[in-house]
Structure 1
Amino acid sequence: MDKPLANPYRGDFLAWSGVCGFIGSGGGGGAISPHSHCAIQLVLGAPGGLRVQFGRRGEWVACAAALVPSRATHTIDVTGCDMSVVLFIEPETPEGKALTARLQGRLEVLGAEVVGEAARRVEHAWRVEKSRAEVNAICARLIEDISKTAPRQPSDPRVLAAVEYLRERVDQSVSLPEVAKVANLSADRFRHLFVEETGMPLRTYVLWRRLLHVWTLLSAGETLSSAAHAAGFADSAHLSRTARTMFGLPPSVLQMKGPLSERELAREPHFA
């Protein structure tokens, strides 16, 4: 029989437009396997203890935080951290484009002078305030500060109509011409306008919405299989392959049970 982990991971899933990730404590399983994904990764550990390896045989580097470029093989070890935050930034967003140009395929280590104050604030918002909105806001501001970009939300009414259409059909297959018709645009014009407004191609945006929906359902107590189907994945194996591509980990080990999820579950009405 496997022994229980001495310091099991306990955390929450985070998501907003173009970014998702995890905040948690523990990590008794040790470093995850080397992997790569399409997202740019920002990882920080507080008050210390974070280690990052770039490449399959690179040297382990101790740091306060690190930026990992898109599609770069890497791994992280957060077992020495009281709290860790791992954020995945979509490369097509303004922040992602700025960071891609800055990193040029290289790992960048960030010092405590860059992330220390944000780490203290986000830990308080997570552990004490238990406010998802505040945690997201602090993390979003940190990404904006590091990437030197301004926040941007879709404002074109045609794109907003398309976004609402997609949200109502998160569990369904949709095509570019179908959504373009909702916006009263040609497929080609809509494709360019959607990227311009959201920072993401339509296909990537749909994937983000589905993954966000999965972890919302998991946090509410749904099983992995039911959450996968409800979010439009063929089955849990399809979801697992997608999550490994995006995060380097399967969703089966990322079912969140942190302070944010516990508070939200406690607020839900219970019926006899």
Structure 2
Amino acid sequence: MQHSPRGTLFLWPDHWQVIGHLVPNRPHRHISASWLVGLDGPFRLQVGGHWRMTSAALVAPDVEQSLDPGDTRMWCAQLDPDSDFWRALQHRLGDQPSVDIPVTQASLHSESSGDCQAVWQALSSAVKQLGGSPEPMDRRVRKICDELRSQLPDKVDVARLAQAVGLSSSRLSHLFRQQTGVTLRRFLLHLKMNQVLAQWERGKSMSQLAMDAGFYDQPHFVRTARGMFDAMPSEYVTTGAFSVCRCGPSSSPSLS
């Protein structure tokens, strides 16, 4: 018997959003920043081992978290550490791993249409109400992010990347972590997982997708997926639990 999807997963090159009914999860560590909003009421969020009730929250990149949505539909976004969305919001956290945020009901009206443009605009409007313009990124770190995105290498060659931007390996590693909140290696893992999500279709084998995205082998991919999501992408995509919208750059105009 075919069941209707529990929600929709929207994929962009620099972030993804999911809207619908999610299941509780165990502690996991997204490499991206988390935007979490309860559409029908508050939900329970655990960060750093402490549970709290909230209606909307931000969680910094690479911070352990766990979600118990109860019966509320969730509006969640995973924002890449170098994305304009995250760079416009990160000042709200200061040095804290997570904060509650005041997301007004008006900013949520357009998210339910199931259209890439409308969902992007809903997040863009909410971010502008909360933050303003994206904080500038060091040009050398931006260059490294762009190169890793375009080439998706098997592993990070820190020495080569550092030489390309005129820094020592240790200085680049420190600067990258300072600017993005994650290490170079973790950032590349995140990009590889995004590649798997972007190419996941029914009929494609997990081992082939993992290999195409540059994972060493299927066990490496499984460990990474469980650590980042407490779930395999197949639990959301190939089972039909969530419909998938792959959104191109035309549906994501500039935030600034």
Task: Identify whether the pair has TM-score above 0.5, normalized to the shorter chain.
Answer: yes
RMSD: 3.9
Question: Which residue does the alignment assign to 1:77?
Answer: 69
Question: Percent identity, aligned pairs only?
Answer: 20
Structure 1, unaligned stretches of length 5 or more? 265-272
Alignment of 1:21-32 (within 5 A): 21-27=16-22, 31-32=23-24
Question: Contact (CA 8 Å) 1:172, 1:232: kept in 2 or not?
Answer: yes
Question: Which residue does the alignment assign to 2:214?
Answer: 232
User: Shift in Å at residue 215 of structure 1?
Assistant: 0.9
The match for 1:258 among 235, 243, 250 is: 243
TM-score (norm 1): 0.66
Alignment of 1:50-65 (within 5 A): 51-54=43-46, 61=53, 64-65=55-56
Alignment of 1:1-272 (within 5 A): 8-15=5-12, 17=14, 20-27=15-22, 31-37=23-29, 40-46=33-39, 48-49=40-41, 51-54=43-46, 61=53, 64-68=55-59, 71-77=63-69, 79-81=71-73, 84-89=74-79, 94=87, 97-101=90-94, 104=96, 108=100, 110=101, 114-124=103-113, 127=114, 130-131=115-116, 135-143=119-127, 145-146=129-130, 148=131, 150-152=133-135, 154=137, 156=139, 158-159=140-141, 161-195=143-177, 200-218=182-200, 222-255=204-237, 258=243, 260-261=245-246
Question: Contact (CA 8 Å) 1:171, 1:231: kept in 2 or not?
Answer: no
Letter paired with 2:134:
P
- Evaluate the alpha carbon distance shift between residue 105 and residue 26 of structure 1 in structure 2; reply closer, same or farther with a 3 A threshold: closer
TM-score (norm 2): 0.70
User: Shift in Å at residue 216 of structure 1?
Assistant: 0.9
User: Shift in Å at residue 177 of structure 1?
Assistant: 0.5
- Evaluate the alpha carbon distance shift between residue 96 and residue 216 of structure 1 in structure 2; reply closer, same or farther with a 3 A threshold: same
Cα distance in 1 for partners of 2:50, 2:144 equals 45
- Evaluate the alpha carbon distance shift between residue 220 and residue 189 of structure 1 in structure 2; reply closer, same or farther with a 3 A threshold: farther
- Evaluate the alpha carbon distance shift between residue 99 and residue 37 of structure 1 in structure 2; reply closer, same or farther with a 3 A threshold: farther
Letter paired with 2:235:
V
Question: Contact (CA 8 Å) 2:93, 2:99: kept in 1 or not?
Answer: no
Question: Contact (CA 8 Å) 1:8, 1:26: kept in 2 or not?
Answer: no
Cα distance in 1 for partners of 2:203, 2:167 equals 40
User: Shift in Å at residue 51 of structure 1?
Assistant: 2.7
Question: Contact (CA 8 Å) 1:91, 1:100: kept in 2 or not?
Answer: no
Cα distance in 2 for partners of 1:139, 1:214 equals 24
Letter paired with 2:29:
H
User: Shift in Å at residue 37 of structure 1?
Assistant: 1.9
Instruction: Give the structure, 1 or 2, with the largest relative contact order (CA under 8 Å, sep 6 or more).
Output: 2
Larger Rg: 1
SS at match of 1:258: strand
Deviations 1:10-31 (A, max 9, x none): 42143554xx44323345xxx3
Question: Which residue does the alignment assign to 2:252?
Answer: none
Equivalenced residue count is: 239
Structure 2, unaligned stretches of length 5 or more? 249-256
Cα distance in 1 for partners of 2:146, 2:97 equals 35
Question: Contact (CA 8 Å) 1:171, 1:233: kept in 2 or not?
Answer: no
Cα distance in 2 for partners of 1:73, 1:161 equals 30
Question: Which residue does the alignment assign to 2:251?
Answer: none
- Evaluate the alpha carbon distance shift between residue 179 and residue 72 of structure 1 in structure 2; reply closer, same or farther with a 3 A threshold: closer
Cα distance in 2 for partners of 1:58, 1:238 equals 30
